[in-house]
Structure 1
């Protein structure tokens, strides 16, 4: 499947090519990318910037022409870099598990490291922060434990980002360091109660202690809602969804994953279909009642348009105070902060249908703009992180 043939618009071409390259890369036997060496060279910066270069190199290295393409050395280096980083961060999690185990805690780990387990080569799926939830009712204990190991602050003033109080940069007694995002609950991912998710979670034994990962039904739902909250702009996130989708076995509880809200069930079903349409994920085992026959075209177009920009570009958000001080910056800030159709619809709880997205985008932007203005005048301590790094 060559996605670029279906989405032939020049504006979407690079995003469609990226989808073609990523197809099946999470599998034990990934197919060679169905593109020419010249096209791969053009995509190298996007692959590196989006965090997908590691497992793309794994699939393309079987093709002599692609291995010799311009840009291939950079992809190979990224492959090695991601593998090393995954090893280091994995050891950091081991050390962190030791600290939690000593306190009688088994944290729930999700996204990043926990999703990489669904890849045939998990060390090639990069991740940044360690996203954790403490066992139900023990959030304060976990925060206090992490607070004892803080090694520095997490401010990114040049990007206008100030991390929330529950973000910790810690250094354990073993010398390993980690950046931890300690979540109090999973409400922003529209998951059921933390107690329910934790109760279904799966223990994973590490050398120094035990952590837990969500059951696949909960984790797939969480990954999809995370993808929607951020407008689907990172290719890695849809690859995650594809890898998890193909891991679902015959006893997978689709009703648990889809939930009870009809419009959210359709959201999830649309993204499962999107993983099939763009990345060739196998969706034959998805129940017929959860398949989408009337997929709105704006969903795929929005995603492919977003994939034209590297991940790093998403982090460079100018502080709103700069635009307030210099009104000439306002037009650019409006364009940069304008929510895409997916993010705006999910933000305003709208349906994924064929109607125009403009009302949702206007409503989402207005609500977000007022919030930013209020936080700007309230001071840096009130500024929220708007970008997930994993």
Structure 2
């Protein structure tokens, strides 16, 4: 089964428009709810999605996976992003993987349009969309009301230049002064997001945090989160990073350099890829690069936990729970049953 790609490029679409407010979820949407599988890195989201898709198909409703991991959008960035290989996807269609070149800058606005379009197509086929990933803003942009602020290339370029001049720590401190709430929601090493926040503050005169998504679904959604005990999760992270190097991450990065990885503002700073580049350049040893990646991943996981933990709508499950799939299917079926009852009432003029 080949990957189903949806073209997404910041060069062909403007991010300066807001997505219009949609009406309340229809009974048809609720019969095929978005099932968002979220949580921190290394909790097993991809494997769970495959198991859920198999279980749903066995019950008569196939499912398709829609990627919500910002780094898995990039073509060729496979090992370091833990992208599920094509031959391990069990024939289940996967969307929004491998749609950007490493020189492209990922855009939440473009992703929002693409993910909602793909989800509409999945539902039109009578299938359930499984939105899977740990990029919190990308998930929220898909399922919630989200205002897309304006953009100005000149203003953004000025802050990008400032980032190069003073470094990410000082630029993050500047954001913390201007918008503490936004700074708390942005990873301190994420220069691209810091630049974007400062750009929006300058263009709108409002805090960037004022444009963050509201917890208001635009379509019927069931959110499930995976969690793991801290010691066990840290051990998984360390083992995962060791496996990335053993599986050839450095060789993967070497192959991406001629394709412009160093020029990619987003891709070159991805966890694992930044450290592999440092090893290639002789700025880190193999052991130092692995250790730095493990540390960066653990820090990123803490921020993911904070982001997703703030959403009271997410139903949380232990990643190693024995009845995990069955328990989640119960939630999905409950949502679908409520939709069928609502449709019956509508067909009967509101009478049971």
TM-score category of the 2 structures, normalised to the smaller one: under 0.3
**TM-score w.r.t. length of structure 1:** 0.26
